[in-house]
Amino acid sequence: MKNTLYIIKARRSVRNFSSDKLAAADIAKVLEAGRWAPSGLNNQPWRFGVIENADVRSRIAAFTTYGSIIRRAAAIIVVCMDIADSYNRDKDLMAAGASIQNMLLEAQSLGIGTCWMGEILNKKKEVADILKLDKDLDLLAVIAMGYPAGKAQKGCRKALKDLLIKGTKSL
């Protein structure tokens, strides 16, 4: 059993995928991880849409400069916020981010690669039209997923000392 920090540090954005389909049970586990994220007042404002169909993915891919990732993926998860269930946009966005990260980490633990895609938000309306999203659903992210092809990229992060706020405990 791998510990949480190991999974967190091993996760990398994956942009190349094999042509293998994902098992429905694994997709369900990823969504389950998203469902169990914390949220303010436990309002759970996130909504998820899973799209495997290559034609629909290709139409969505046309709206981001990173479209090839969506085309190569086995599936995408479209993450929206339900405005009708939102009580504070800042908090609801943070909760949705937690839900997304939960899904990335569960996917990692299942050997599934993911890429959190945000650039596509420049074309929210166009994507919403393709998916015929209800007007209360605000697109927040697309997660591309599939089995990784090729070697994982090396990760890099700022040093912890550069992230600590002056005057607080140094570690």
Kind and range of the H or E run holding 93 = helix 89-109
Q: Which stretch binds ligand FMN (CB under 6 A): 8-16, 53-61, 80-88, 130-138?
A: 8-16
Q: What minimum distance in Å lies between the beta carbon of 69 and ligand FMN? A: 6
Determine, following the binding rule CB under 6 A, whether residue 48 of this chain makes contact with ligand FMN: no
**Contact stretch for ligand FMN (CB under 6 A) within 43-51, 74-82, 86-94, 109-117:** 109-117
| Shortest separation between residue 109's beta carbon and ligand FMN, angstroms | 16
CB of 119 to ligand FMN, least distance (A): 3
| Residue given tokens 């993911």 in the structure block | 114
The residue among 42, 115, 40, 41 whose CA lies nearest residue 79 is 115
Distance CA 156, CA 76 (A): 25
Q: Which region among 24-32, 73-81, 115-123, 161-169 touches ligand FMN (by CB under 6 A)?
A: 115-123
**Residue 88, Cα to own-chain centre: how many angstroms?**
21
State yes or no: residue 71 binds ligand FMN (CB under 6 A): no
Phi, psi for residue 85 in degrees, rounded to 5: -105, 10
129 binds ligand FMN (CB under 6 A): no
Q: Which tokens sit at 99?
A: 């839900």
